[in-house]
Amino acid sequence: MRVLYLVHDLEDAAVRRRTLMLEAGGAQVYLAGFRRGPKPAAGSADKVIDLGETRNGAFAHRAAKTIASAPSLIRALGGERPDIIIARNLEMLFLARQVARRFAPAPVIVYESLDIHRLLLRRDFIGALLRGAERSLMSRASMVVTSSPAFVENYFEPMQNLKLPVFLMENKVLDIEGRMNAMAASKPADGVITIGWFGALRCVKSLEILSAFTRAMDGRVKVVMRGKPAYNEFEDFDAQIVAEPHIGFGGPYRAEDLSDMYAQVDLTWAIDFFEEGQNSKWLLPNRLYEGSRHGSVPIALSGTETGKFVSRHGIGLTLDEATPQALKALFETLTPDRLADLRAALNACPASLFTATRDDCVGFVDRLKALQVAHA
């Protein structure tokens, strides 16, 4: 089965994970999309089609580039018809429709929606227009793939009247070969509690809260950040980090770095206020699974989908409100014994709660094959 995977950022680590999952499940993957930087895209897919550079936070620019790129993508494919087209976001769903109509029979289209863009949630003409466009494009899709049930419960069902089948694909750590250790080694006790904030770094409010909190704790708590900052969201990210005595930024990372990264921290910052009250309330982020799988206790916000996950499985700490004062009160009760108990609770969880295996990859591809058969 040949899968054309259309993505907004060829160099996104999550794109690489999905590509590996498809290949491990037995699919031949053609990867096509844009990049957010000038460097050439590199990946494990059988074929990579680079459609050019786009920018973070520039929806209109990306939409225009997407429309203009359809002919070049079709030329690059030549006569190689994909069986399945997976579109990673709304712009890519438009592109999928343009490609599918050039083949007979048309390939199956799957809509992968892992975030609900804030423009889609606007209660004005622009929001209504975009939701209408999404409904129209979804009318030719055969399935929606999403990473959190809250996206379906709070957006797709009530706002889009979704009737398509949904495949829940949580942002679990990928362990195709089954080689991952049961749990990372505990960070050596040094009298300092370390919070890891890893992944997509885009939440201005989180940085403000953690800056005030670590200063108030006067060296007893520090924060280590790794990943890709959304520089367009921060006034001056690099200057802000330099000015903070107890917060450090270690740059981007690869999946292979996860074990070493989490071995250096006690807790995972699993709170996000980006698109507060909407997307941030509904998502289940990568860092929740990565940190938990590697023995780092998550800190989540009550009332969010992440907070519900943490409470349901009894695996971390939750805050009723994320303020420097609330964090300080929580950390005053975080004794070494309590931290050890929290890590023990994580260790007692089945690996499948946080990890996707080869069987999961095969199950996903089998579901795509079933769609292909039904579509024939």
Per-residue pLDDT at 238: 94
Q: Are residues 123 and 228 in the same domain?
A: no
Give the model's pLDDT for residue 316: 94
Q: Model pTM? A: 0.91
147: pLDDT strictly greater than 70: yes
Lowest-confidence pick of 24-33, 37-46, 51-60, 77-86: 37-46
Write down the pLDDT at residue 25.
96
pLDDT band at 67; cut points 50, 70, 90: confident
Residues 236 and 108 in one domain: no
Regarding whether 338 and 250 lie in a shared domain, the answer is: yes
* CATH code for the domain of 204: 3.40.50.2000
The whole-number pLDDT of residue 164 equals: 96
Domain of 140 in residue numbering reads as 2-174+357-375
Whether 139 shows a pLDDT value over 70: the answer reads: yes
Sequence-ordered list of residues with C-beta below 8 angstroms from that of 197, at least 6 positions apart, any chain:
206, 210, 223, 224, 225, 226, 227, 268, 269, 287
Closest CA to 225 of 125, 212, 240, 216: 240
- Could you tell me if 148 and 294 lie in one domain? no
Q: Is the same domain home to 201 and 139?
A: no
Res. 69 pLDDT band, cuts 50 70 90: confident
- Asked whether residue 186 is assigned to any structural domain, the reply reads no
Element (H, E) at 168: strand 166-168
- What does the pLDDT look like over 167-178, one tens digit per residue? 999 999 999 987
Domain match, 100 and 29 both: yes
The pLDDT value recorded for residue 46 is 63
What total number of domains does the chain contain? 2
Query: Is 304's pLDDT higher than 60?
Result: yes
Q: Are residues 363 and 322 in the same domain?
A: no
Average pLDDT over residues 77-106: 92
- Asked if the structure places residue 183 within a domain, the reply is no
User: Do 144 and 12 share a structural domain?
Assistant: yes
The mean of the pLDDT values for the chain is 90
Confidence bin at 45 (pLDDT 50/70/90): low
Q: Above 90 in pLDDT, residue 300?
A: yes
Tell whether 187 is covered by a domain.
no
Q: Which DSSP symbol is given to 42?
A: -
Per-residue model confidence as pLDDT tens digits over 120-131: 999 999 999 999
Residues 198 and 339 in one domain: yes
